[in-house]
Amino acid sequence: MLNTVKMKLGRLWTQFWSLAKSVGIRFKIMGIVLVLTLILGLGITFQIQSSLTKTLASELEQYSISTTRNLAARSTDLILTSNSFDLYQLLKNTVDNNGDVRYAFIMGPDGNVLSHVFDDGFPVGLATANVVEPDAAFRLEILYTNEGIIRDIAVPIRGGNAGIARVGLSELRIQETVAATTRRLLIFTGLVALVGIIAAYLLTSVLTRPIVHLVEATRAIARGDLRRQAPVWAPDEIGR
């Protein structure tokens, strides 16, 4: 198996090298510039994409924890006084005032849902999708839903004696930001590659012109025209 792979790679390399030797120097230089530009541009794009995703995910996680803790603190008195209306308004304001928040709800100490903001009824299985220990500060659970990835945060209220606050934040904004940044980097890479190809074309035109004239003079001399000379474009290696 290994020998077969080596043979195939060897044939591919031979074919590639034969093709590379058959094209002119202009296309060789332009190809090298294009390949190096694409490797550099795509490498930088990948690194920035990975770093940006990690940074935004970390910021979203910290923001989700802070939002849920704030909800838990503000809902304590409302739960203890059984103020269902204000508790619902608090949950609704949490969702409406935070673009990344997809849902928020409060569970009682017995695990029953006290209040939520779902218009079509509380989703089946969501209450048990993230179970936090009473002595824990919070618990983060990644949920895969039909709306994409949701970061579900659970924070005990008064050590779980008053209930649990749950908030779900979508990663859609992260994905859109990363996708937009990636598109801009790819467009920039394409523009740089285009400029590089144009520059390589102009450079190779300058380099190959005296060689072309030298070849023409050589052919003329071979035909017996000894008066033919190749013009000297510059006092460089080719000119000498």
Taking 80 as the threshold, does the pLDDT of residue 192 lie above it? yes
Confidence category of residue 182, pLDDT binned at 50, 70, 90: very high
Worst-scoring range by mean pLDDT, 17-21, 71-75, 169-173, 233-237?
Answer: 17-21
More confident call, 237 vs 57? 57
Q: Which of 154, 129, 126, 128 is nearest to 140 (CA)?
A: 154
Q: What is the pLDDT of residue 89?
A: 94
Which of 5-19, 128-142, 194-208 shows the highest mean pLDDT?
128-142
Q: What is the pLDDT of residue 94?
A: 92
Q: What is the pLDDT of residue 5?
A: 62
Confidence category of residue 6, pLDDT binned at 50, 70, 90: low
Global model pTM greater than 0.75 = no
pLDDT tens digits, one per residue of 20-75: 666 677 777 788 888 888 899 999 999 999 999 999 989 988 999 999 999 999 99
Worst-scoring range by mean pLDDT, 39-43, 72-76, 156-160, 203-207?
Answer: 203-207
Contact indicator for 2, 176 with CB cutoff of 8 Å: no
Beta pairing class for 113-116 and 139-145: unpaired
Q: What is the pLDDT of residue 93?
A: 93
Q: What is the pLDDT of residue 141?
A: 92
Taking 90 as the threshold, does the pLDDT of residue 204 lie above it? no
Confidence category of residue 227, pLDDT binned at 50, 70, 90: confident
107-119 in b/e form (b: 16+ CB < 10 A) is: bebeeebbbbbee
Average pLDDT over residues 108-137: 89
Q: What are phi and psi for residue 140, nearest 5 degrees? A: -105, 135
DSSP 112: -
Q: What is the pLDDT of residue 3?
A: 64
Q: Return mean pLDDT, the chain.
A: 86
Q: What is the pLDDT of residue 230?
A: 77
Q: What is the pLDDT of residue 154?
A: 94
144-148-150 Cα angle (round to 5) = 60
Place of tokens 């043979």: 7
8-36 in b/e form (b: 16+ CB < 10 A) is: eeeeeeeeeeeeeeeeeeeeebbeebbee
* Per-residue CA distances from 64 to 55, 73, 99, 173 (Å): 14, 14, 12, 13
